[in-house]
Amino acid sequence: MKHVLGVAGYIFFLFLMSACGQEEEEINLTDFRYDIVTCRHDGVDLVFLRDDTTLLYPQSAVSSDLLPVDQRALIGYSPLGKIVDRQLSIVLQTSIKPVMTGDILSLSPGGAQELADDPLYLTSVWCSGGYVNLRYKIEYHDVSHMLTMIAVFPQNSADTLDLQLRHDTRGDAPGYYVSGYASFRLPRPLPPVVRVGINTSNLGGRRQFVFTEK
């Protein structure tokens, strides 16, 4: 496990551009789905890889210039027909909302101590599609916050990948709650157990979430 995690820079983002925007959109609720997907390019077209490995092809073509390969995004859509050879045609029912996407940062214990660990409101956390995924709320005023997913080396066990989410308010004043999503790429090969530590504001402080291979 010593070499599987590449070093990644810190991730800055504006919560005003979070996955849950304020614009109202007309949605056809027949067979409607919301999914976090991974962007792929099929020539000049943007397509989406669902976490169950189904490729989604929009009926109306979307330019691949919109988002890069491996960017995560939140889409609302309705399927057209059935899945054939792990491919499915869809009608996009909402705009394509980018999800903050990043790598896991490998740190020594000393390096980890230098990072802020401000609590955040955690709605859900799960592993799928080769990512650790989060839905959360932060209290935003006018300064962009920072989220970093870290792995502190040496790890305690070869069978468990221990991760920590670090949230830095960067001195932002209290404001209003804004919802967001984030995805962090997991290494390959993946150990049987992934354990994620998160300092929460709504679940009694620091919590550990354990995910195992199915």
Q: What confidence tier does 31 reach under pLDDT thresholds 50, 70, 90?
A: confident
Residue 116 lies in a domain: yes
Domain boundary among 48, 73, 94: 94
Domain tally, the chain: 2
At 99-113, the pLDDT tens digits run 999 999 999 999 999
Residue 41 belongs to domain with CATH number: 2.40.50.500
Whether 22 is in a domain gets the answer no
Amino acid at 68: P
pLDDT digits (tens, 9 = 90+) for 161-183: 999 999 999 999 999 999 999 99
The whole-number average pLDDT for the span 31-51 is: 97
On average, the pLDDT of the chain sits at 89
Identify the band that residue 87 occupies on the pLDDT scale cut at 50, 70 and 90.
very high
Answer whether 165's CB lies under 8 Å from 207's CB.
no
pLDDT for 4 beyond 50:
no
Parent domain of 40: 33-94
Indicate the range of 3-7, 42-46, 146-150, 176-180 predicted with least confidence: 3-7
The CATH code of the domain that includes 176 is: 2.60.40.2370
Same domain assignment for residues 111 and 197: yes
Nearest-5° angle of CA 70, CA 138, CA 26? 65
